[in-house]
Amino acid sequence: MFGNFDFDVIIRALPYLFKEGMTFTLMLTALAALGGLVFGTAIALMRLSGYKTLGRIAGVYVDFMRSLPLVLVIFWFYFLVPYIGQWVTGASRPISVGAFASSLITFIMFEAAYFSEIMRAGIQSISRGQPAAANALGLTYAQTMRYVVLPQAFRNMLPVLITQTIVLFQDTSLVYVLSITDFLGAASKVAQRDGRLVEMYLFAAVVYFTISCIASFGVRRLQARIAILR
Amino acid sequence: MNYHWNWGIFFEPNPMGTGTYLDMLLSGLVLTLKTAALAWIIALIFGTAIGVLRTLPSKTASWIGFCWVEFFRNMPLLVQLFLWFFVLPELLPRSAGLWLKQLPNAPFWTAAIGIGFFMSARVAIQLQAGIGSLPRGQRMAATALGLTTFQGYRYVLLPMAFRIILPPLTSEFLNTIKNTAVAITIGLIELTGEARSMQEFSFQVFEAFTAATILYLLVNAVVVTAMRFLERWVAIPGYITGK
């Protein structure tokens, strides 16, 4: 079964796989998680702000993003971003933004919807007395959020946020549909060039599996630690 | 924006000669629904089995359940589809591999089974949580009535657990429908795939993707409404959501 399994192909491809592919994957994951968290928190605050219109806009955005397949969203942004760029800069033709920027914007916008629901749950898990106390101390709304509510919400939701980031890490492989050289893209390019699909795809599977496993193991330990603190 | 809008494009004949562009999208929608339905049946069957395994007192059973869930949860769906589609036929004995490769509609079966297994891990976790949320007394009462373990699950624990986890199962069902779009990578031309090829043939990017988006939103709305009825219908009397 593994009689003609060629480990050499993998070893020769390692620098390309990790230096080009994994760097792209990890960078996209990290930046998208960060951007998604920032935008997601803003959307969560909009939804909980008490302004009906603002809340409704945020709600529609979240529901919209969550009812579409990620692959479709990737296509949307891939074609839409150049036009938005043209509109923003006032250029005469659509701006080419490159694979990285386009996929980064896609994932930030997409993940913001998911992160916002997590942050909303986190904010709602804070007892009513906390903002009331902050109010009594004379803090403004922004200060209350900044110093009292959000740090606790973030901390309570940290395991869930990391779990979502693991999902994001796996989902970044879908940029494959744009022929981008992320980790899977690099593996599949080598696979097709050398005619070694079995080796490359199995290796990619093992790498994704190992990283996700270690990360979710870490989340479980973190959860246990946070649970003790309560 | 110097983009040439043409909403009439949907009623123009498509280059495949199978009717209009709209027909193309609708046939993609049908394929999406077919794939999702088969995948969901597989996910429910395997998810139930694995979810039950994880709640049994046997150490071996829960270990098998643990391995299943970790295996299918820690790999991107895309990679899993590649494994089933490209790698599995090569690892099987020659004749079996050849048979698998020559199977008509291979992308459809691979996608349905692959997505089904992928989702089964998620169903299993939900079900495990559902069974875990039942009061201990239910299992004991089943035993006290003289039911075997199998009967206890069949008549007491599973009907209760499934009714409790219906709302999260709804979102998993929606995820299954959305995940069929990943199968575009192994050549399944479902709704997203048809929108993509419509864009390639007609250059009407935004019309094609807008139509696909609206169809996905419609499917979502139908599923959510149907499940809400189902939820009301099977609500457990005496629980907060019950009558």
The pLDDT tens digits for A13-51 are: 899 999 999 999 999 999 999 999 999 999 999 999 889
Q: Which of B77, B79, B213 sits opposite A72 (nearest CB)?
A: B213
pTM score of the predicted model: 0.91
**Mutant choice from B1, B82, B94 vs A, greatest count of A C-beta within 10 A:** B82
Structure tokens at B119: 């989702």
Cα dihedral across residues B18, B19, B25, B30: positive or negative? negative
Q: Which of B1, B78, B209 sits opposite A83 (nearest CB)?
A: B1
Strand partners, B20: B13
What rounded mean pLDDT belongs to chain B?
Answer: 92
Looking at residue B97, its pLDDT comes to 86
| Reported confidence tier of residue A91, pLDDT bands at 50, 70, 90 | confident
Nearest-Cα distance to chain A for B152, in Å, is 31
Q: How far apart are CA A76 and CA A173, in angstroms?
A: 17
Looking at residue B243, its pLDDT comes to 52
Looking at residue A147, its pLDDT comes to 94
Transcribe A132-160 into DSSP letters.
HHHHHTT--HHHIIIIIIHHHHHHHHHHH
**Mutant choice from B79, B188, B200 vs A, greatest count of A C-beta within 10 A:** B79
Looking at residue B6, its pLDDT comes to 86
Closest residue, chain B, to A192 (C-alpha): B86
On the question of pLDDT at A230 being above 80, the answer is no
Q: Is A5 on the interface with B (CB under 8 A)?
A: no
Report in angstroms the alpha-carbon separations of A32 from A186, B150, B178, B192. 20, 46, 21, 23
On the question of pLDDT at A96 being above 90, the answer is no
Closest residue, chain A, to B87 (C-alpha): A198
- DSSP 8-class letter at B186: G
Q: Is A135 on the interface with B (CB under 8 A)?
A: no
Least confident among A86-100, B115-129, B142-156: A86-100
Q: Is A71 on the interface with B (CB under 8 A)?
A: yes
Strands, E assignment, chain B: none
Phi, psi angle pair for B13, to nearest 5°: -65, 140
Q: Do A197 and B87 touch (CB under 8 A)?
A: yes
Nearest-Cα distance to chain A for B19, in Å, is 24
Report in angstroms the alpha-carbon separations of A132 from A125, A141, A214. 15, 11, 40
Nearest-Cα distance to chain A for B111, in Å, is 15
- DSSP 8-class letter at A182: S
On the question of pLDDT at A205 being above 70, the answer is yes
pLDDT, mean of residues B10-32 = 90
Looking at residue B137, its pLDDT comes to 92
Nearest-Cα distance to chain A for B187, in Å, is 11
| Residues in A touching B178 (Cβ below 8 Å) | 67-70
Q: Is B109 on the interface with A (CB under 8 A)?
A: no
Considering chain A, what percentage of its residues have pLDDT values greater than 70? 97
What rounded mean pLDDT belongs to chain A?
Answer: 91
Which carries the bigger pLDDT value, residue A77 or residue B1?
A77
On the question of pLDDT at B242 being above 80, the answer is no
Q: Is A70 on the interface with B (CB under 8 A)?
A: yes
Q: Do B206 and A209 touch (CB under 8 A)?
A: no
Q: E strand or H helix at A218, and its extent?
A: helix A197-229
pLDDT in tens, B114-143: 999 999 999 999 999 999 999 999 999 999
